[in-house]
Structure 1
Amino acid sequence: MRSEAQHALGPVTLHAPEAVRKLIGDATLPRLRLATRLLDSDNDGTEDRALWTAGQRGYRLLRAKMRLDLGFDAEPMAAIEAIGAQPTVVSSSSESTPDPADTTSLPPPTL
């Protein structure tokens, strides 16, 4: 799995600006570790929530930096920084919250 991820991320790492390139590991490594742990039959689940939260925070920070670099609107950095600072409630993707930092689930679909 690791070699596939390295191969897939190669062009991103090569062409991305430095601010984005520095965040790639923070966005991908916790998710890879979580996937590995979920497949491990000896996993007791104690680190799963922390890895999920770190992966979500890293992804959202990377996404915001990429969108800003491309000149698109981006999620406020304060909302991203708040991830993991307080317990979060995981909702289904059909539920909607006014603040993206209130949930670690997928955002509601765009209307």
Structure 2
Amino acid sequence: SQLHTLKFKQNEKIEAFLRRVAELRASLLALGEEVKDESLVPIVLRALPSSYRIFVTTLNLSDTTISFDKLVNLLQQEEAMHNKDDEEEQALSSHQKWKGK
């Protein structure tokens, strides 16, 4: 199915990616194929870009089964941290350029 070939698009926001996942899941359900959380969560984790590698590894090592809704919340938090890190790097870079370095 399309879920198994799912890929995170370059520069895609987590919210848009997760919306695509939910739409695919709903389409499959409409065709009579239910996709349970325990199947969906690993599919989503495999589709994430390399910038989420530590996040994925941490979840895999936790040996805890999580729901799709919980994964959505965790991914939104992770993206917020990525965005904050990017903003701090840009601010530092701008400051260094301003100082002539």
- Whether TM exceeds 0.5 here: the answer is no
Which structure carries more helix by proportion?
2
TM-score, normalised to structure 2's length?
Answer: 0.31
The higher radius of gyration belongs to 2
